[in-house]
A = this chain, B = another copy of it.
């Protein structure tokens, strides 16, 4: 079944201890979509400028991603540049040029509106709500947000996530949103805001999926070398929603077992780990589903006891 993804398609400049790339394909929507495309029909809603390169478009279409909702407008594509610390646990933003993204008003093609799965990348909460309201027959909707919206757009954000099934954020965001340092308590507070499922990304330490009565924790995959962590959290999101869509799970009507959600977290973790193995989206040029399934089994091997 198909997944609709809304968010940024961008160009990134990235510097890590392993090298530097001035300009390469990036953006949350791009990463989520590439990851999701290994599991399910993937439809994106985003905006790019007239500088958007045909080889970048080709990478997306080569993955079978539906670009009907990719709007092209005069001007430049969103550009972000950042540099990572030596241990890659911190990054500093060097530049954020919103460009055509500044006026992004997501428009859903008619053919997207019946898709059962929706994931909203980190954009203005009011836009996220607007997209959510354009969809019919959703089985599962959720998304990401960030400190900026949590702090300065709290009312809008709370109105938006009230209708979400799942919220997928990192530990610092969960603490900021809930006002609770302890993650179990943070989850309990967030459930009162609407979502019945909370996924907390913990970077190199893995992820936790909370539901009201249970939780699942997976440690991070140990890489020999992390080349570039940009997009890893978004690839997690793509693997998570993609697997649920592939299996046709329906959280809303209870047609899902905890184990299925746990496996979605594992596929998310696997996709995040692949993302770090090369710069930007490079790893997705060669990645195969067989490699993904092999990594899923690796997760089993190093966590089972």
Contacts and interface: CB of A to CB of B under 8 A. Distances in A.
A68 interface: no
Contact of A215 (B87, B215, B222, B226): B222
A124 interface: no
A305 B263 contact: yes
- How many copies of this kind of chain does the complex include? 2
A53 interface: no
A302 interface: yes
Interface in A251-305: 259, 262-263, 265-266, 299-305
A67 B46 CA distance: 70
A301 B305 CA distance: 11
Interface stretch (A23-31, A70-78, A176-184): A176-184
A178 to B, nearest CB: 14
B303 A216 contact: yes
Contacts of A183: 222
A13 interface: no
A241 interface: no
Given A259-B305, A263-B305, A303-B303, A181 B87 contact: yes
Contacts of A301: 214
Nearest to A301: B214
Contacts of A266: 305
Contacts of A185: 224
A262 to B, nearest CB: 4
A205 B205 CA distance: 7
Given A205-B219, A219-B206, A219-B219, A214 B302 contact: yes
10 contacts: A86-B181, A184-B223, A185-B224, A205-B219, A208-B219, A215-B222, A215-B302, A266-B305, A300-B305, A304-B304
Given A182-B223, A217-B302, A217-B303, 10 more contacts: A86-B181, A182-B224, A183-B222, A184-B222, A208-B219, A216-B303, A219-B219, A262-B304, A263-B305, A300-B305
